[in-house]
């Protein structure tokens, strides 16, 4: 029963990895490539690369790819549902428990400390990503605009992203035109 | 009606958050402001829980927000809303564009988007920091966490979050 296997395999991957993204790659390789033989190492890296440049969660995108390759559209849907199923169960239980204890003074103290750690973690991941993404004056301007348009003008991230996509397309066509002229 | 707007809000997030994981965070801050479903400090707690539990952060965040807004049906609807656009887009790519990532136009747009995510995330950081960092003690704790996390690269985020909880109980 391939559909059940797809669901269970991705549910297992969902349970066993913390953090998603790159943390998930070794687990995906072991389960999908070695244990199941549903994809080759090269295909897996390709899925990951495409997952990074398409909207949405990388792990979910990979599940969709592998599911589609095995059993078409239905396989894609089953694999994706398998991936998200454990998260829904675990978070729902935790969220229910935390909501009950939210007014407790110790829980509040603990979360005040946790928020500081989360601020630091986001700061560090911005710093690490910036080393790869901000490589010249143009990319630096884009990053500054992404921050400033929200802070100063209250633009929504959706609007800013749409503008950035338009800018990227414009950049591409200008370059192509220049190349053709040269 | 509430479930429908949950689905729509997360559908938009799933469609525009490119780069995975943390990339959804800036969109969620705006969602909280626009809908009034949760505030920035609740969102900071949700990020902590999502990073400390199994599964992709973006999916965990959607489930958590959905549960807060409309209980178990909300958790399911928000998560489905988040993944629907990527499932559709990946299916289209699987069927028609096997060498999608090698198109020059995709590469150019991505260079811009990767840089943009830095700016968007920096603002999300600014929003959490305004809530979390309130006095000298919290500033010092923040600086210590940044140095530790930069220095000990292999340590999983869950460890820093637990340490934050312990320090919060002892010091705050």
Mean per-residue pLDDT pooled into runs of 10, chain B (172 residues): 94 85 86 92 87 84 92 94 91 79 83 88 88 93 94 83 92 88
For residue A7 the two structure tokens come to: 């669901």
Inform me whether the C-beta atom of residue A25 falls under 8 Å from chain B C-beta atoms.
no
Best A52, A119, A134, A175 member to test B by mutation, with max B CBs in 10 Å, is A119
**Residue B144: closest C-alpha in chain A:** A120
Q: Give the tens place of pLDDT for each residue, A76-88.
A: 999 999 999 988 9
**A145 contacts on B by Cβ (under 8 Å):** 116, 119
Best B61, B92, B96, B115 member to test A by mutation, with max A CBs in 10 Å, is B115
B90: nearest Cα among A83, A60, A40, A162: A60
Paired residues of A132 in beta bridges: none
**Residue B61: closest C-alpha in chain A:** A91
CB B142 within 8 A of CB B133: yes
Best B8, B67, B118 member to test A by mutation, with max A CBs in 10 Å, is B118
**A155 contacts on B by Cβ (under 8 Å):** none
Q: How many helices (H) and strands (E) does chain A have?
A: 7, 1
DSSP A76-117: HHHHHHHHHHHHHHHHHHHHHHHHHHTT-HHHHHHHHHHHHH
Q: Which pTM was predicted?
A: 0.83
- The Cα–Cα gap between A109 and A48 comes to 39
Residue A137 has pLDDT above 80, yes or no: yes
Return the domain boundaries, chain B: 2-132, 134-172
Q: How many CB pairs under 8 A join A and B?
A: 364
Q: Give the tens place of pLDDT for each residue, B138-158.
A: 999 999 999 999 998 878 778
A72-77, long-range: CB < 8 A, 24+ apart? A73/B91, A74/A3, A75/A2, A75/A3, A75/A6, A76/B87, A76/B90, A76/B91, A76/B94, A77/B87
Inform me whether the C-beta atom of residue A18 falls under 8 Å from chain B C-beta atoms.
yes
Measure the CA angle with vertex B93, ends A84 and B65; round to 5°. Answer: 30
Q: How many CB atoms lie within 10 A of CB B91?
A: 18
How high is the ipTM of this complex? 0.84
């Amino acid at each position: 029963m391939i559909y059940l296997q797809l669901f269970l395999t991705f549910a297992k991957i969902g349970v066993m990895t913390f953090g998603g993204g790159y943390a998930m790659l070794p687990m995906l390789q072991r389960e999908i490539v070695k244990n199941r033989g549903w994809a080759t190492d090269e295909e897996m890296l390709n899925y990951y690369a495409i997952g990074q440049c398409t909207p949405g969660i990388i792990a979910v995108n990979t599940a969709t790819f592998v599911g589609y390759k095995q059993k078409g559209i239905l396989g894609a849907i089953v694999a994706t549902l398998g991936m998200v199923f454990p998260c829904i169960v675990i978070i729902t239980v935790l969220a229910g428990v935390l909501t009950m204890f939210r007014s407790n003074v110790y829980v509040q103290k603990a979360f005040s400390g946790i928020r500081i750690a989360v601020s630091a973690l986001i700061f560090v991941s911005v710093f690490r990503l910036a080393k790869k993404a901000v490589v010249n004056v143009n990319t630096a301007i884009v990053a500054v605009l992404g921050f400033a348009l929200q802070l100063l003008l209250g633009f929504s991230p959706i609007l800013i992203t749409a503008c950035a996509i338009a800018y990227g397309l414009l950049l591409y066509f200008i370059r192509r035109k220049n190349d053709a002229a040269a | 009606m509430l479930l429908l707007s949950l689905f729509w809000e997360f559908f938009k997030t799933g469609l525009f958050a490119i780069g995975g994981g943390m990339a959804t965070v800036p969109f969620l801050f705006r969602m909280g402001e626009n809908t009034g479903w949760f505030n920035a400090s609740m969102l900071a707690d949700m990020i902590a829980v999502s990073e400390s539990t199994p599964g992709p952060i973006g999916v965990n965040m959607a489930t958590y927000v959905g549960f807060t807004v409309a209980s178990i049906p909300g958790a399911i609807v928000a998560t489905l809303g988040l993944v629907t656009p990527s499932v559709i887009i990946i299916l289209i790519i699987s069927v028609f564009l096997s060498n999608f990532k090698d198109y020059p136009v995709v590469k150019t747009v991505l260079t811009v988007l990767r840089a943009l995510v830095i700016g968007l995330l920096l603002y999300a950081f600014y929003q959490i920091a305004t809530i979390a960092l309130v006095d000298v003690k919290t500033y010092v704790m923040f600086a210590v966490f940044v140095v530790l996390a930069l220095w000990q690269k292999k340590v999983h985020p869950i460890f820093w979050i637990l340490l934050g909880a312990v320090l919060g109980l002892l010091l705050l």
